[in-house]
Amino acid sequence: MAKLVKSLVRRTLLAKYDNLVALDDVYFTLGRLLAGTRVTGVLDAGASNGRVSRKLLRIFPQAAVYAFEPNPLYRPDWEHLTAQTPALKISHAALSDENGQMTLHITRSAGPSSFFRPNRRFRENYPEESEPERDETVQVVRLDDWCAQNGSPEIQLMKFDIQAAELRALRGAVDTLRTTLVVYTEIFFNPMYEGGALYSEIDLFLRENGFSLFNIYKPRADANGMLDQANAIFVKPEPLGLA
């Protein structure tokens, strides 16, 4: 029945616009895109409590999932996960374009915590989520440097959910991106963080590194109908037979 309803929506309401926003489950799509690829390494940047890391491991059971999560609130979750599942590998650090330390602005709801402060529009539209509560100094690393120090694993899939810091992390991963085929990332169409990256900047950077936009998922707008954010899949078309 669910498939029938989805098909009906596609043929009617979204018939002319199906290329703009996908109704498909994003994880099913990731598995389909990489079905012909031996996936040995998956990156989960902004891994929070490990829910997505576990889902990615179920889709790609032969892979190691390299998770990065700097928020100390999630450390107890990861102690349990890594003890049970050796393929889940956690680094209690954040990815960026430099190595060292940065200030993480932890918000009332842990999800919007970021290196960038929520701007006025974000705080006014989502006060229960975005209100800053405290700052925490955390470690940051360049993915290229981390890989060089940890056996240079190949990473075929990268997932980012790091609250407008995605561009910084990507800039620190130029070498690693050469073996990457798919990038799944949160994107912001309008500013929600002070100084955070927008979709146009991420799109340009990934295109310069051989990627193309595949599709957009789960867009979110504010109470006025103004588009805020979504998730997007970028792919390298030729290796995946999409050129």
Count of beta carbons in the 10 Å neighbourhood of residue 226? 11
Q: Which pTM does this prediction carry?
A: 0.90
Amino acid 7: pLDDT: 45
What pLDDT sits at residue 49?
Answer: 95
Identify the H or E element spanning 32. Answer: helix 26-33
230 dihedral zone (left: phi>0; alpha: psi -120 to 50; beta): beta
Considering Cα of 66, then 30, then 46, then 116, what sign does the dihedral take? positive
Q: Block means of pLDDT (10 residues each) for the chain, length 243 residues?
A: 46 43 86 97 97 97 98 93 95 97 92 93 89 92 98 98 97 97 97 96 98 96 93 98 93
Residue 10, pLDDT score: 47
The number of residues making up the chain comes to 243
pLDDT at 128 (0 to 100) = 87
Quote the pLDDT of residue 20: 52
Alpha carbons 226 and 134: distance in angstroms, whole number = 29
At 225, list the tokens.
């109908």
In whole angstroms, give the CA distance from residue 240 to residue 127: 42
